[in-house]
């Protein structure tokens, strides 16, 4: 379900915005209007929907219109044209009182630098949004405590802001927004002022929180890595307009414009791409019931020195190694039962590839990708290393697929590379 819908939003600063808007509608090019009229075209014809429970990231360079756009959603800025819908309600037609109500109950905002009251405790700062709503004192304290716990600040309730680090202050800001219990969070560069380590901690924490709370979040950032890490979907903004909306993977694999392609050049792909996106069809496997002789045949045909052993529906049982299979045949054994190694390291399809290297280093087999017990794919180490180094542009996005040839084969020189 759509929680937020933006329909053809414009925000124009300067003299006579309506007139400027009409000129744009009549087809005047953006740049000409900018030059001739000196108008600031901050947001131009932006439409998108944010689904319930989604983290929707708007990203773009400084001045591209991100803050203006997000402020148009709760009408901190009055859009020059267009419609904003939240929960099917037309926000653009609300009167002042209704708007205040909306901001107090439904839509909270977290800024890059927001003011904490210096003489109030962390708990009081956190409960501030509820105080404005004139909630009962006991309710405020309870909800503020819960919110502080969610952001990992339990035990800090009675401190004052100057006793906190920058990261902790930012957490109080987040807790304040969470305490109000509104289901929409608008976060404008909320983590941008933090140093990199704390920033990635906060990003991880937001993802954890989101798993529990299922808010609908519009997150503004100019950092593509942050956008890719957090965003269920990402909108890329340029000069007031949106160039592309898509998942991180859509954008990495199929950048819609040269601008987007240039943008993604130096993204940290390892945090974005998942095991599922680079896995290949497994071929070096054998059904457990087939036995040792069939295993030798399969290894010879595929020129590999180990196989995955699977059951019905390709359920992953384990692996079988060449020398042990040969011994089993010599002993006249009819099953693989005695030689299967059951403790195979595997990964899930949605594991980011940054987390695959460690698991992959543990084994000389391609990394098995397992979903509900079934072997759904394998990632040969070369494939993983290539993916970590991949840098596509608009024209060669598909070309790196050609590197994927020996699907699923097991490294022949097992044991020699360390």
Positions in the binding site for ligand ATP (CB under 6 A): 13, 40, 42, 60, 62-68, 222
- The answer to whether 251 and 264 have CB atoms below 8 angstroms apart is yes
Q: How far is the CB of 392 from ligand ATP (least distance, A)?
A: 26
Q: How far is the CB of 67 from Mg ion (least distance, A)?
A: 3
Q: How far is the CB of 271 from ligand ATP (least distance, A)?
A: 22
Q: How far is the CB of 64 from Mg ion (least distance, A)?
A: 9
Length of the chain: 418
Output 67 or 409, the one with its CB closest to ligand ATP: 67
| Residue 255's binding partner out of Mg ion, ligand ATP, none, with CB under 5 to 8 Å set by partner kind | none
| Residue 173's binding partner out of ligand ATP, Mg ion, none, with CB under 5 to 8 Å set by partner kind | none
Output 62 or 93, the one with its CB closest to ligand ATP: 62
| Residue 60's binding partner out of Mg ion, ligand ATP, none, with CB under 5 to 8 Å set by partner kind | ligand ATP
Residue from 12, 43, 67, 234 in contact with Mg ion (CB under 5 A): 67
Q: How many helices (H) and strands (E) does the chain have?
A: 17, 15
| Residue 13's binding partner out of Mg ion, ligand ATP, none, with CB under 5 to 8 Å set by partner kind | ligand ATP
Output 67 or 305, the one with its CB closest to Mg ion: 67
CA atoms within 13 A on the CB side of 141: 6
Q: How far is the CB of 299 from Mg ion (least distance, A)?
A: 59
| Residue 63's binding partner out of ligand ATP, Mg ion, none, with CB under 5 to 8 Å set by partner kind | ligand ATP
**Spatial distance between the Cα atoms of 48 and 83, rounded to a whole number of angstroms:** 11
| Residue 65's binding partner out of Mg ion, ligand ATP, none, with CB under 5 to 8 Å set by partner kind | ligand ATP
| Residue 94's binding partner out of Mg ion, ligand ATP, none, with CB under 5 to 8 Å set by partner kind | none
CA-closest candidate to residue 74, choices 89, 58, 92 = 92
Output 40 or 94, the one with its CB closest to ligand ATP: 40
Q: Which two tokens stand for residue 357?
A: 């290297």
Output 67 or 125, the one with its CB closest to Mg ion: 67
Q: How far is the CB of 41 from ligand ATP (least distance, A)?
A: 8
Output 127 or 231, the one with its CB closest to ligand ATP: 231
- Starting from the edge strand earliest in sequence, which strands make up the sheet with 2-13, in order? 40-51, 2-13, 81-86, 89-90
Output 222 or 374, the one with its CB closest to ligand ATP: 222
List residues bridging with 7 in a β-sheet: 83
Output 67 or 126, the one with its CB closest to ligand ATP: 67
Q: How far is the CB of 16 from ligand ATP (least distance, A)?
A: 14
**Spatial distance between the Cα atoms of 147 and 174, rounded to a whole number of angstroms:** 8
Question: Angle at Cα 191 formed by Cα 112 and Cα 89, nearest 5°?
Answer: 70
Q: How far is the CB of 58 from ligand ATP (least distance, A)?
A: 8
- The answer to whether 108 and 185 have CB atoms below 8 angstroms apart is yes
- The answer to whether 148 and 159 have CB atoms below 8 angstroms apart is no
Instruction: Name the closest residue to Mg ion (Cβ).
Output: 67
**Spatial distance between the Cα atoms of 356 and 310, rounded to a whole number of angstroms:** 22
Q: How far is the CB of 191 from ligand ATP (least distance, A)?
A: 13
**Spatial distance between the Cα atoms of 215 and 3, rounded to a whole number of angstroms:** 10
Q: Which two tokens stand for residue 326?
A: 């040969």
- The answer to whether 223 and 45 have CB atoms below 8 angstroms apart is no
What are the C-alpha distances in Å from 413 to residues 97, 100, 405? 73, 68, 17
Residues near Mg ion (CB under 5 A), total: 1
DSSP 354: G
Measured in degrees and rounded to the nearest 5, phi and psi for residue 362 equal -75, -15
Output 71 or 253, the one with its CB closest to ligand ATP: 71
Q: How far is the CB of 168 from ligand ATP (least distance, A)?
A: 23
**Spatial distance between the Cα atoms of 92 and 74, rounded to a whole number of angstroms:** 9
| Residue 42's binding partner out of ligand ATP, Mg ion, none, with CB under 5 to 8 Å set by partner kind | ligand ATP
Q: At what angle do helices 196-213 and 137-150 cross, to 10 degrees?
A: 120
* Strand 184-188 to 216-221 pairing: parallel
Output 62 or 95, the one with its CB closest to ligand ATP: 62
Residue numbers of the site for Mg ion (CB under 5 A)? Answer: 67
């Amino acid at each position: 379900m759509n929680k937020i819908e933006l329909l053809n939003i414009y925000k124009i600063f300067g003299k006579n915005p309506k007139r400027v808007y009409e000129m744009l509608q009549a087809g005047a090019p953006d740049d000409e209007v900018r030059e001739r009229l000196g108008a600031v075209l901050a947001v131009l014809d932006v439409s998108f929907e944010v689904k319930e429970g989604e983290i929707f990231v708007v990203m773009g360079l400084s001045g591209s219109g991100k803050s203006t756009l997000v402020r148009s959603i709760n009408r901190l800025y009055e859009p020059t044209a267009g419609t904003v819908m939240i929960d099917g309600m037309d926000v653009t037609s609300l009167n002042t009182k209704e708007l205040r109500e909306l901001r107090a109950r439904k839509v909270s905002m977290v800024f890059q630098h927001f003011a904490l009251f210096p003489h109030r405790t962390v708990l009081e700062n956190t409960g501030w949004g509820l105080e404005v709503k004139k909630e009962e004192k006991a309710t405020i304290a309870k909800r503020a405590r819960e919110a502080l716990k969610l952001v990992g600040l339990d035990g800090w309730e009675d401190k004052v802001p100057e006793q906190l680090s920058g990261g902790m202050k930012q957490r109080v800001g987040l807790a304040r927004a969470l305490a109000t219990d509104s289901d929409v969070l608008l976060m404008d560069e909320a983590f941008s002022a933090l140093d990199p380590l704390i920033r990635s901690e906060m990003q991880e924490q937001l993802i954890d929180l989101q798993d529990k709370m299922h808010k609908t979040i519009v997150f503004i950032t100019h950092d593509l890595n942050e956008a890719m890490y957090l965003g269920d979907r990402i909108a890329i903004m340029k000069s007031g307009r949106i160039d592309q909306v898509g998942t991180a993977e859509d954008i990495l694999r199929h950048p819609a414009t040269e601008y987007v392609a240039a943008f993604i050049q130096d993204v940290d792909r390892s945090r974005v791409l998942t095991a599922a996106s680079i896995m290949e069809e497994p071929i070096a496997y054998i059904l457990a019931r087939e036995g040792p002789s069939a295993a030798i045949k399969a290894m010879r045909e595929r020129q590999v020195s180990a196989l995955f052993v699977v059951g019905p529906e390709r359920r992953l049982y384990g692996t079988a190694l060449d020398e042990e299979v040969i011994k089993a045949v010599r002993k006249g054994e009819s099953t693989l039962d005695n030689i299967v190694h059951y403790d195979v390291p595997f990964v899930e399809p949605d594991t980011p590839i940054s987390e695959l290297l460690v698991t992959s280093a543990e084994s000389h087999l391609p990394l098995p990708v397992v979903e509900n017990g079934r072997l759904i794919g394998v990632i040969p180490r070369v494939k993983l290393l290539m993916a970590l180094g991949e840098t596509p542009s608009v024209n060669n996005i598909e070309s790196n697929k050609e590197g994927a040839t020996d699907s699923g084969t097991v490294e022949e020189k097992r044991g020699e590379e360390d």
